[in-house]
Structure 1
Amino acid sequence: METLPRETIVDVLENKLREEILTGSHPAGSYLPPERELADGYGVTRTTLKHAFGRLVQSGLLETRHGVGTRVRDFVRLGGADLLPMLVRHSPEWMGEIFEVRRSVGALIAERAAMKATAEQRQELRALLAAVREAESGGDVQLADIEVHRALARATGNRVYTLLTNTLFNAYLPMRQHLVGPFLDPDEAHGRLEPVVSAVGAGDAKAAHEAADAYLASTERIMLDGLGIA
């Protein structure tokens, strides 16, 4: 049996401050009150507060200047895609925007993969596609499907596409259990993805783009329905 994690006071304070930042209680660009005032207000020690600040600085929500204070970072303007998993956990509404990027980037990746894939990469894609049908649970099918997309990105020969693919998957993995709808039936999941792999295998860039767009659009609708997002 897996031991459940125990929240520390630093965890609780970090979550509280993060929620206040993301909901605008502490607006971007504003300075937080002095540490002593904040610590007293939350009923914690300054050491606990400093630990929570350190985590939020590392996550990109705060920036601290010695002798000046701690300011809320304008994370939407200055932040990177590494913030997406945290933002999705805060508000599933981010998923709609993530899926918009997923669809446009995914179709382009399939097109480039059809143009660039080696014989070995095409063989790998067929093997990974077969693993989608062989997976047993919805979660396993979902993970097998992800590996096909990672392989498509690698087949473009452009490592940035691979990193973008990983970033998008990392963004919605925190919500993965709510996005399993398209993967509950292994045969159906295989059937949706097969035209993409076949077009890439045939080196048909136009067909690969169209097949990927159709796949991404259909799975997006199912997943957003699962989240209750129109």
Structure 2
Amino acid sequence: MTDPIARDTVVDALVNRLRTEILGGLYPPGSYLPPERELAAGYQVTRTSLKHALVRLAQAGLLETRHGVGTRVRDYERLGGPELLPMLVRVAGPDWAAEIFDARREIGALVAAQAAARASLGHRAHLSDALTALRSAADPQQGEAEIHRLIAAATGNRVYSLLVNSLLNAYLEVGDLFRHVFTDAETTADRIEPLVRAIADGDPAQAHEEAVRYLDRTRDLMIGALK
């Protein structure tokens, strides 16, 4: 008998439960979920609540429903997109986090070099202002994330911005685990300042080098927090 779901946040709780069970391997890719009537009875929820939860998981790329056949778990590693990353970090653990940080390093260094080559005077001014604001930010973690968004915007390539947003969303989903890395605003700003300065100077090679150095350092700090 499956444990019943609390009724105050039934759809949200059901989405979280099913997501955890799917990503945890109870329902592996390619398998079908039990019939809706059976699932609803097991979780002690209405079929309407269950349908809402299944729709949300389908929108997230985890499920697909075929009329008259049933609801199947998608092969999300092969077919899924970056929108899955936050839930994979939350549920599937540090292995996914490590891979996300590897991608963050490679993409972040490329984006930084492109930003140094393409940034307008306005972009450079916004980056400088964001660095100044970071030094007194109430939430340095969010202030640091905003600088990454500005760096991506400075490339003039909207796809880079979407990729950076996906990577940020992936680890900010579990940002509470890393918050101690960004506790001190001055320290956070000092770490990222060489990268911002290299972009402001219009030096792509230096920006790439500083990005690798910065992203490696913060990756080690954040991965350490997961161990």
TM-score by length of 2: 0.89
Match of 2:101 in 1: 99
Give the superposed CA RMSD.
Answer: 1.9
**AA matched with 1:205:** P
Q: What CA distance in whole angstroms lies between the structure 2 residues aligned with 1:18 and 1:85? A: 12
Give the match's secondary structure for 1:71: strand
* Preserved CA contact (<8 Å) 1:181 1:223: no
Identity %: 55
Q: What CA distance in whole angstroms lies between the structure 2 residues aligned with 1:12 and 1:124? A: 40
Moved more, 154-163 or 34-43: 34-43
**AA matched with 1:223:** M
Q: What CA distance in whole angstroms lies between the structure 2 residues aligned with 1:31 and 1:6? A: 26
The structure 1 segments of at least 4 consecutive aligned residues displaced by more than 6 Å after TM superposition are none
Match of 2:3 in 1: none
Q: What CA distance in whole angstroms lies between the structure 1 residues aligned with 2:182 and 2:9? A: 36
**AA matched with 2:155:** T
Q: What CA distance in whole angstroms lies between the structure 2 residues aligned with 1:104 and 1:166? A: 15
Match of 1:77 in 2: 78
Match of 2:64 in 1: 63
Alpha-carbon distance, 1:6 to partner? 7.3
**AA matched with 1:69:** G
* Preserved CA contact (<8 Å) 2:112 2:151: yes
Q: Show structure 1 runs of 5+ residues with no match.
A: none
Alpha-carbon distance, 1:118 to partner? 1.0
**AA matched with 1:113:** A
**AA matched with 2:167:** L
Match of 2:186 in 1: 187
Q: What CA distance in whole angstroms lies between the structure 2 residues aligned with 1:148 and 1:122? A: 11
Say how many residue pairs are matched: 221
Q: Show structure 2 runs of 5+ residues with no match.
A: 1-5
Moved more, 155-164 or 183-192: 183-192
Q: What CA distance in whole angstroms lies between the structure 1 residues aligned with 2:171 and 2:42? A: 34
Give the match's secondary structure for 2:206: helix
Match of 2:25 in 1: 24
TM-score by length of 1: 0.88
